[in-house]
């Protein structure tokens, strides 16, 4: 790993200034994407700004119609939280299926959402549950936040503070896991609201996306068999072809819908 300066600020404001004055800087949350990327020199920051000493960033609480999860909440904490289990059990279930136990002890929701890996799990939950991504500079609606592979609405150095999920009447996540990495080859999150369903798909395309046809079919209450995504817009890699991913999307949608 290339040498870098290390800062451990105690507030979001101090973190922002450490980032701004740190040359090419990077924010460290759980580090389970960033540190491997630094080891392989895909990322070579001048300054690493460690967010782990900022108090309160891992809080989990329901306020009004939203479940708010702090950016530094670990996957294991989300999976085990009675507050999450009561408000949105599907979110606890999703968190329990990320990586492996050692990864879940370190990895954070904010880190995952900021990174926006096209096969990550949390972006599907954020998008399907119409979440608000609150940062040190303002707030982003989920529908505007994810902008394709590893790209988000976050400005350079903008730090996620917490994420607010609109609590659904019911929700479920079905994932076809890559057997080694445990990332989603395809993951489908379905959330049911009084105004209709929201469906988000991860792993299948170049970034998480909403599946309008599936939402309409679920709202109509009819069969899901006729649904099909265009494979030309989906990923092909050594693990799965685009055609296979298109088929998996329907299968995972059915599995999620069956739990609602």
Partner 1 sequence: MEIAFTLNGEAKRLTVSPATLLVELLRDGLHLTGTHIGCDTSQCGACNVLLDGEPVKSCTLLAVQCDGRTVTTVEGLAKGEALHPMQAAFREHHGLQCGFCTPGMIMAGIGIAKRHGRDISRETIAHELEGNLCRCTGYQNIVTAIQAGAKEMADA
Answer yes or no: are the C-beta atoms of 47 and 23 closer than 8 Å: yes
Q: Considering only residues 6, 24, 148, 228, which one is a binding residue for partner 1 as defined by CB under 8 A?
A: 6
Q: Considering only residues 181, 196, 219, 222, which one is a binding residue for partner 1 as defined by CB under 8 A?
A: 181
DSSP symbols for 136-160: SS-EEEHHHHB-STT-BSPPTT--E
- Per CB under 8 A, the segment of 5-13, 148-156, 230-238, 250-258 that binds partner 1 is 5-13
52-66: buried (b, 16+ CB within 10 Å) or exposed (e) per residue?
A: eebeebbebebeeeb
156 contributes a contact to partner 1 by CB under 8 A: no
Closer to partner 1 at the Cβ: 151 or 181?
Answer: 181
How many whole angstroms separate alpha carbon 38 and alpha carbon 16?
Answer: 21
Question: Chain-centre distance of CA 87, in angstroms?
Answer: 18
Residue 213's nearest CA partner among 232, 195, 226, 194 is: 226
182 contributes a contact to partner 1 by CB under 8 A: yes
- Per CB under 8 A, the segment of 45-53, 58-66, 124-132, 192-200 that binds partner 1 is 45-53
In which element (H, E) is residue 126 found? helix 122-128
Residue 118's nearest CA partner among 151, 162, 163 is: 151
180 contributes a contact to partner 1 by CB under 8 A: yes
52 contributes a contact to partner 1 by CB under 8 A: yes
Name, in order, each residue with C-beta under 8 angstroms of 164's C-beta and a sequence gap of 6 or more.
63, 66, 67, 68, 69, 131, 132, 134
42 contributes a contact to partner 1 by CB under 8 A: no
Residue 71's nearest CA partner among 59, 86, 53 is: 59
Closer to partner 1 at the Cβ: 114 or 257?
Answer: 114
Q: Considering only residues 59, 62, 85, 105, which one is a binding residue for partner 1 as defined by CB under 8 A?
A: 105
DSSP state of 168: P
How many whole angstroms separate alpha carbon 235 and alpha carbon 226?
Answer: 21
CB of 4 to partner 1, least distance (A): 6
- Per CB under 8 A, the segment of 15-23, 34-42, 57-65, 145-153 that binds partner 1 is 34-42
Closer to partner 1 at the Cβ: 33 or 202?
Answer: 33
14 contributes a contact to partner 1 by CB under 8 A: no
85 contributes a contact to partner 1 by CB under 8 A: no
23 contributes a contact to partner 1 by CB under 8 A: no
10 contributes a contact to partner 1 by CB under 8 A: no
101 contributes a contact to partner 1 by CB under 8 A: yes
Residues that bind partner 1 (CB under 8 A): 1-6, 8, 31-32, 35-36, 39, 48, 50, 52, 99-103, 105-106, 180-182
């Amino acid at each position: 790993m290339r040498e870098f300066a290390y800062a451990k600020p105690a507030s979001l404001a101090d973190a922002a200034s450490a980032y701004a004055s740190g040359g090419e800087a990077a924010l460290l949350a759980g580090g389970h994407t960033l540190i491997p990327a630094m080891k392989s020199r895909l990322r070579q920051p001048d300054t690493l700004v460690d967010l782990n000493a900022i108090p309160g960033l891992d809080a989990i609480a329901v306020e009004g119609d939203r479940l708010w999860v702090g950016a530094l909440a670990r996957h294991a904490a989300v999976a085990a939280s009675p507050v999450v289990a009561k408000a949105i059990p599907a979110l606890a279930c999703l968190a329990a299926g990320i990586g492996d136990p050692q990864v879940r002890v370190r990895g954070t929701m904010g880190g995952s959402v900021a990174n926006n890996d096209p096969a990550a799990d949390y972006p599907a939950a954020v998008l399907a549950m119409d979440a608000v991504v609150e940062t040190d500079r303002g707030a982003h609606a989920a529908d505007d936040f994810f902008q394709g592979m590893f790209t988000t609405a976050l400005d350079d150095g903008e730090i996620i503070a917490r994420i607010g999920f609109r609590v659904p009447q019911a929700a479920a996540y079905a994932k076809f896991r890559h057997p080694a990495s445990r990332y989603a080859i395809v993951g489908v999150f379905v959330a049911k609201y009084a105004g209709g369903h929201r469906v988000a798909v991860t792993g299948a395309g170049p970034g998480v996306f909403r599946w309008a046809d599936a939402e309409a079919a679920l709202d109509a209450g009819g069969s899901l068999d006729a649904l099909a995504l265009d494979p030309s817009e989906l990923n092909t890699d050594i693990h799965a072809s685009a055609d296979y991913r298109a088929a998996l999307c329907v299968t995972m949608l059915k599995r999620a819908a069956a739990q609602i």
